[in-house]
Chains A and B, each alone.
Chain A
Amino acid sequence: MTVQELPGAAAYRPTPPPAWKPLTDPAPLLPDPEPYRVLGTDAVADADPELLLRLYAELVRGRRYNAQATALTKQGRLAVYPSSTGQEACEIAAALVLEERDWLFPSYRDTLAAVARGLDPVEALTLLRGDRHTGYDPREHRIAPLCTPLATQLPHAVGLAHAARLKGDDVVALAMVGDGGTSEGDFHEALNFAAVWRAPVVFLVQNNGFAISVPLAKQTAAPSLAHKAVGYGMPGRLVDGNDAAAVHQVLGEAVARARAGGGPTLVEAVTYRMDAHTNADDATRYRGESEVEAWRAHDPIQLLERELTARGLLGEDGIEEARAAAERMAAGLRERMNADAVLDPMDLFAHVYAEQTAQLREQAARLRVELDAEQGQDGTSGAGDGR
């Protein structure tokens, strides 16, 4: 490309000294123009049938989980639920691609990834139920708390992966973010840190088309979100986010690269949010039914089911079995979520500091008096009786 010089510009514009040159050849970092696909292509020949069947079972279970959780919002059992229906392939692949020692950094929509990684389905919902924030020990499961602020968990993933490598541990962190989250400053800072530190991190952007109501075209002018990688000096990969085999393969390669010391990768999975942003959102205000229908024809479960059926790996029995397992999970979830949570209001003060300050002890005593008075009034021993 030639740049037109202003008249006389050469006279004052200094030429960079010869030592200066770009550090990285951008070509290998650039994503392919089309999202990578496996299902329905020649690439499927290399896919492990056992993995495909496992992905299928998890996808069916995940879809059922989304439906059950959404139903629980209607019954008032959940304060809110951001469904990932339509995005299950990304969620499941993210969970299954990691080893037990690795860490997952989910965003608020990624409950399914946490559950597919082995988290108790009820513990994964405490935040959304409203009884406590994080209902599990992050260290025990190696799953960071579901993160509500956008992209702020990405630098955490970088720091953790960096720390693990400093300690000599063979640990990879996988951090999930949505298309809207890529506009946040923390996205930029995390990717930049990761690349400079060559941290063993994989960033998975689930581009589901909308940041609540704002479409991708109003979010970014980049050719694709995967293209952003090149500016940081890391590879960007574009993948069909509804193709579970493709997402698993691309993430698997990125994780392997990170584990081998090759540094971070940015993966953009192109997918679609079939439900509204949450149960509190009206998606008809910002998108038409025809668009939703077009994506329905590209459903992640159907894509995989077709492939497995065509290859004779899955029959009616297998489909029925997957559905029955999903039903059992849903029934268990329903039953346990319908039990009223037992909460101790005194826990409000329990985990602010390692040791309560004098001020908090005073406030706790005040609440104790209020609770005792309540108990005296209605004669019950309900909440507040924990200790």
Chain B
Amino acid sequence: MTTAAMAGEQTDRAKPATMAQALGRALRDSMAEDPTVHVLGEDVGTLGGVFRITDGLAKEFGEDRCTDTPLAEAGILGAAVGMAMYGLRPVVEMQFDAFAYPAFEQLISHVAKMRNRTGGAMPLPITVRVPYGGGIGGVEHHSDSSEAYYMATPGLHVVTPATVDDAYGLLRASIASDDPVVFLEPKRLYWSKSAWSPEAPVEVEPIGRAVVRRPGRSATLITYGPSLPVCLEAAEAAVEEGWDLEVVDLRSLVPFDDETVAASVRRTGRAVVVHESSGFGGPGGEIAARITERCFHHLEAPVLRVAGFDIPYPPPMLERHHLPGVDRVLDAVARLQWEAES
């Protein structure tokens, strides 16, 4: 990279950017650095993606490196497997959460297992970008939170940023990873910027580390992706009630950072897991169980979950009732106190 380009980026980064822009920049920087990085998917070329994440890549790197494919998710991911087998580093876009389901067999039977099936001889460095979650007024099949399906598949990393910095850093790390990564992009945070202005230089964090976004003493909110802003807002609101809440952003669901989570819960003695995907069989159950196993003697209340209802994702005019908001988080926090007093 030239000094001029570096300087240009520094200037660029000094301005607040949206998460969408940070993701696009991560793709561009990865492609510029490594000629084996290829982007493929439906609409990623000329249009620049329906969310414009891949905007300009086809122009800058050519259509062979940023390729509009036929509309077929299994074909896109299956082709990416073959490309990775030949030494490329494909980054696949799935456009919307529920559109990724046709590619599940490729993901589960091949992407996740190729390293294992071949005794380590053939790892697949594939990044699967999946815009996920609700809150943008999408009609059905445009708002699913499918992380539990991915988490249940050994061999995959499952990563989800909640800040602009992490969107850049974690996507860079995912593309550089020699293992397949399902990179879940919280689409309702695509346009977020004011809260988290990127600072230069941006650190590229290794995958698998959670981070404490807000230190606190009375209870821990454990969350990720689209629910992080909800939790931070709830923590601010809870101050009035005398609660000093710690907020942990997982950033990576697989691998799971037991250490950071357990350390926080041991400090605070109380925990609420917050996510918008359905609660039953969802990530919260796994996380609550891990906390209970590790921190049982430190807990002063049961680990609670605040999750989406166990319903198919509702129509947009009703989604606000489904998505866990600040009030529902605060209500859970209040129940922690009741448990403690009883």
Contact = CB atoms under 8 A, between A and B. Distances in A.
Interface of A: 132-140, 144-145, 149, 152, 154-164, 166-167, 173, 185-186, 188-190, 192-193, 196, 347, 350-354, 357-359
A336 B230 CA distance: 62
Contacts of A133: 116-119
B119 A155 contact: no
Contacts of A173: 82
A190 B178 CA distance: 25
A154 B118 CA distance: 18
21 contacts: A133-B119, A136-B121, A139-B121, A140-B121, A145-B122, A149-B109, A156-B79, A156-B82, A159-B79, A159-B85, A159-B86, A164-B86, A186-B105, A192-B75, A193-B70, A347-B119, A350-B119, A351-B118, A351-B119, A352-B154, A354-B115
Contacts of B78: 152, 154-156, 158-159, 186, 189-190
B110 interface: yes
B173 interface: no
A133 B119 CA distance: 8
A354 B123 contact: yes
A102 to B, nearest CB: 12
A193 B106 contact: no
A173 B154 CA distance: 29
Nearest to B120: A351
Contacts of B106: 152, 155, 186
A34 B157 CA distance: 50
Contacts of B117: 133-134, 145
B258 interface: yes
Contacts of B75: 155, 158, 186, 189-190, 192-193
Closest 10 CB pairs of A and B: A159-B82, A155-B78, A189-B75, A159-B79, A160-B82, A357-B255, A163-B86, A156-B82, A133-B117, A351-B120
Given A133-B116, A190-B75, A192-B72, A167 B82 contact: no
A260 to B, nearest CB: 20
A155 B82 CA distance: 7
Interface string B98-137: 0000100110011000111111111100000000000000
A159 B64 contact: no
A354 B118 contact: no
A358 B255 contact: yes
B256 interface: yes
A173 B110 CA distance: 18
Contact of A358 (B38, B64, B115, B259): B259
Nearest to A156: B82
A152 B255 contact: no
Contact of A137 (B74, B114, B121, B258): B121
Interface of B: 38, 64, 69-70, 72, 74-75, 77-88, 90, 102, 105-106, 109-110, 114-123, 154-155, 157, 177-179, 208, 254-256, 258-259
Most buried by B among A173, A353, A358: A353
Contact of B208 (A132, A138, A357): A357
B79 A139 contact: no
A189 B116 contact: no
Given A163-B83, A192-B70, 19 more contacts: A133-B116, A134-B118, A138-B85, A149-B105, A149-B110, A155-B79, A155-B82, A156-B85, A158-B78, A159-B85, A159-B86, A159-B90, A160-B83, A163-B88, A166-B88, A186-B78, A192-B72, A351-B119, A354-B179
B109 A359 contact: no
Per DSSP, chain A at the interface is helix
A157 B86 CA distance: 10
A188 B77 CA distance: 14
B155 to A, nearest CB: 6
A137 B82 contact: no
A137 B118 contact: yes
B179 A353 contact: yes
A142 to B, nearest CB: 10
B258 to A, nearest CB: 6
A363 to B, nearest CB: 11
Contact of A158 (B79, B87, B102): B79
Nearest to A356: B255
Among B64, B75, B117, B122, max chain A CB count under 10 A is at B75
A104 to B, nearest CB: 12
Contacts of B88: 163, 166
B240 to A, nearest CB: 38
B118 A138 contact: yes
A163 B35 CA distance: 12
Contacts of B255: 353, 357-359
Contacts of A154: 78
Nearest to B82: A159
Given A152-B105, A159-B82, A352 B258 contact: no
A361 to B, nearest CB: 10
Contact of B122 (A132, A138, A352): A138
Given A357-B255, A359-B256, A162 B79 contact: yes
B126 to A, nearest CB: 10
Contacts of A166: 38, 64, 88
Nearest to B86: A163
Contact of A145 (B72, B118, B179, B258): B118
A156 to B, nearest CB: 4
Contacts of B259: 358
A185 B74 contact: yes
A158 to B, nearest CB: 5
Contacts of A167: 86-87
B83 A350 contact: no
Given A138-B121, A193-B72, A196-B70, A354 B177 contact: yes
Contacts of A161: 82
Contacts of A347: 119
B115 A353 contact: yes
A192 B74 CA distance: 12
Contacts of B72: 188-189, 192-193
Contacts of B120: 350-351
